[in-house]
């Protein structure tokens, strides 16, 4: 009697004849290993369609056992999935209405006491694009990272595309995304460096050739924290000259900008102090002017700008320079016939290092200078 052995890999099956002798007392029996007739190739079904597989053994000594596996796990008969033995040599598996979770590899295993044979086929379930998470409005801060999600499922994996409008007033959609944006493999639109001009409506569309596809438009708000144009770190004026300091701020309104001197808010407290605020295209220009500067105007001036998204400040040191004051506490000690020791304490420098002192002395009617 002839039997056979199956050597199989994924796609090819080689069957070699083999006579398998099983010695049982007092009879000698020879069993035939089962062989499955290849059935359905891989298929793609829409949700709700019927899936039916019939597994038949072309040979094999009865009794034959049939087993169905999905992704290598044994299947049991349920209300949605029926497994029915048709006859000695065949079994049938029926799924009345396929759903996504039925996609996978189905294997029929036929066995008897001599051995077994299997056949596997794959089921793809076509699923129109659907939201795993619907895109939602996003707001981000200038210079920071932002992700616009377009999280869709479906089979085949949907292709995602993005379009946008410039700002909120235009209806015109453009597919050209600016250079600092990119679409990830998951269809999300991301940037590491949000810009002010990125605000607008963004539409994500996903298609996979099954059904209608999905589309959703969201709003991207860009928040602009204050930014202040740099100013010189030191400003020097001569006493009685006027001082002018500009604080040029851009950012979202409402924008609150103020000047402080040595930590104390400057209002128009004195007639010499004037603060004028000018509204500009992107923000505010706050000018501080001090007429007829005096010694006490020297100090650290800070401009502070605040809006809902942050606070920025810049500072500058103002030096009001003037001639130094006269030395104080002049004393002559150790007076000898040829030498004299003179001491004094320096006075106010006038905010500029004293370069030299000039010492004068008189002897009788003659005036001399010593430096
Ligand atoms: C089914 O088999 C195919 C081909 O061997 C493999 O690529 C796929 O990952 C399998 N699917 C599952 C769910 O195991
Ligand atoms: C203020 O700064 C903006 C840039 O942020 C610049 O375009 C504008 O000219 C500046 N205005 C003044 C008065 O300096």
15 lies in the same domain as 112: yes
In this prediction, residue 355 carries a pLDDT of: 87
Residue after which a domain boundary falls, among 197, 223, 249: 223
Beta strands 173-174; 159-165: pairing state: antiparallel
Q: Of the residues 127, 143, 169, which one is the last residue of a structural domain?
A: 127
Q: Give the model's pLDDT for residue 293.
A: 93
Q: 170 and 94, same structural domain?
A: no
Domain assignment of residue 56, given as a range: 3-127
Indicate if 7 and 55 belong to the same structural domain: yes
Distance CA 227, CA 302 (A): 14
Residue 304, Cβ neighbours under 10 Å: how many?
20
CB-CB neighbours of 199 under 10 Å? 21
For 264, residues 6+ apart whose C-beta sits below 8 A from its C-beta are: none
Q: Can you read off the two tokens belonging to residue 290?
A: 């001090």
152, 158 in Cβ contact below 8 A? yes
Residue nearest to atom 10 of ligand 2 (CA): 248
**Where does ligand 1 bind, in terms of residues with CB under 6 Å?**
71, 104-105, 122
Q: Indicate whether 36 and 51 sit together in one domain.
A: yes
- CA separation for the pair 265, 318 (Å, rounded): 16
Query: 11 and 76 in one domain?
Result: yes
Do 309 and 360 belong to one domain? Answer: no
How many whole angstroms separate alpha carbon 288 and alpha carbon 237?
15
Q: Are 315 and 300 in contact (CB under 8 A)?
A: yes
pLDDT of residue 176: 72
Is residue 167 classed as helix, strand or coil in its secondary structure? strand
Query: Which CATH number does the domain housing residue 273 bear?
Result: 2.60.40.10
What are the tens digits of pLDDT across the range 32-48? 899 999 988 889 999 99
Are 48 and 151 in the same domain?
A: no
CB of 242 closer than 6 angstroms to any ligand 2 atom: no
Low-confidence ranges of the chain (pLDDT < 50): 1-4, 6-9, 11-12, 14-20, 25
Q: What are 211's two structure tokens?
A: 């059904």
Tokens of 251: 């950012």
Task: Name the domain boundary from 157, 188, 223.
Answer: 223
Same domain assignment for residues 239 and 305? yes
236 forms beta bridges with 319
Kindly report the protein residue whose alpha carbon is nearest to atom 10 of ligand 1.
105
Measured distance CA(369)–CA(357) in Å, rounded: 11
Give one DSSP letter per residue of 242-271, joined into a string: -EEEEEEEESSSS-EEEEEETTEE--S-ST
C-beta 235 within 6 A of ligand 2: no
Quick one: how far is CA 322 from the chain centroid?
A: 55
Residues 21 and 80 in one domain: yes
- Atom 14 of ligand 1: nearest residue by CA position: 71
Cα atoms in the Cβ-side hemisphere of radius 13 Å centred on 113: 8
Statement to judge: residues 189 and 289 lie in one domain = no
Question: 122 alpha carbon to ligand 1 midpoint, in Å?
Answer: 7
Find the 248 Cα to ligand 2 centroid distance in Å. Answer: 6
313, 302 in Cβ contact below 8 A?
A: yes
d(C-alpha 206, C-alpha 187), whole Å? 9
pLDDT for res 173: 81
List the alpha helices (DSSP H) in the chain: none
Give the nearest ligand 1 atom to 72 CA.
Answer: 14
Q: Nearest CA to 346 among 320, 326, 332?
A: 326
**Number of independent structural domains in the chain:** 4
**One domain, residues 267 and 362:** no
Are 24 and 98 in a shared domain? yes
Alpha helices in 248-340 (DSSP H): none
């Amino acid at each position: 009697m002839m039997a056979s052995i199956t050597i199989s890999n994924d796609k090819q099956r080689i069957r070699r004849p083999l006579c398998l002798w099983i010695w049982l007392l007092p009879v000698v029996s020879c069993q035939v290993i089962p062989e499955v007739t290849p059935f359905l190739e891989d298929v793609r079904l829409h949700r709700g369609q019927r899936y039916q597989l019939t597994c038949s053994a072309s040979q094999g000594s009865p009794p034959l056992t049939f087993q169905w596996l999905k992704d290598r796990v044994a299947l049991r008969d349920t209300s949605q999935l029926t497994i029915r033995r048709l006859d000695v040599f065949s079994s049938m598996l029926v799924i009345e209405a396929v759903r996504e979770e039925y996609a996978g590899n189905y294997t029929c295993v036929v066995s008897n006491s001599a051995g077994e044979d299997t056949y596997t086929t794959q089921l793809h379930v076509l699923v129109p694009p659907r939201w795993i998470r619907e895109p939602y409005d996003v707001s981000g801060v200038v210079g920071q990272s932002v992700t616009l999600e377009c999280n869709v499922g479906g089979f085949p994996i949907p292709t995602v595309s993005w379009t946008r409008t410039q700002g909120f007033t235009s209806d015109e959609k453009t597919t050209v995304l600016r250079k600092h944006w990119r679409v990830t493999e998951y269809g999300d639109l991301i940037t590491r460096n949000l810009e002010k001009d990125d605000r607008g409506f963004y539409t994500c569309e996903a298609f996979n050739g099954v059904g209608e596809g999905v589309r959703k438009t969201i709003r991207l708000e860009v928040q602009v924290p204050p930014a202040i144009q740099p100013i010189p770190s030191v400003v020097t004026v001569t006493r009685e000259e006027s001082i002018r300091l500009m604080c040029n701020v851009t950012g979202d309104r409402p924008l609150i900008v103020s000047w402080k001197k040595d930590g104390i808010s400057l209002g128009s407290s004195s007639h010499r102090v004037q603060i004028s605020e000018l509204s500009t295209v992107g923000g505010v220009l706050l000018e501080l002017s001090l007429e007829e500067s005096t010694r006490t105007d020297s100090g650290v001036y800070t401009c502070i700008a605040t809006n809902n998204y942050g606070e920025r400040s810049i500072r500058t040191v103002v030096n009001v320079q003037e001639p130094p004051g006269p030395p104080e506490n002049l004393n002559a000690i150790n007076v000898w016939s040829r030498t004299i020791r003179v001491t004094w304490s320096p006075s106010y420098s006038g905010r500029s290092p004293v370069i030299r002192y000039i010492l004068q002395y008189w002897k009788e009617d003659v005036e001399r200078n010593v430096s």
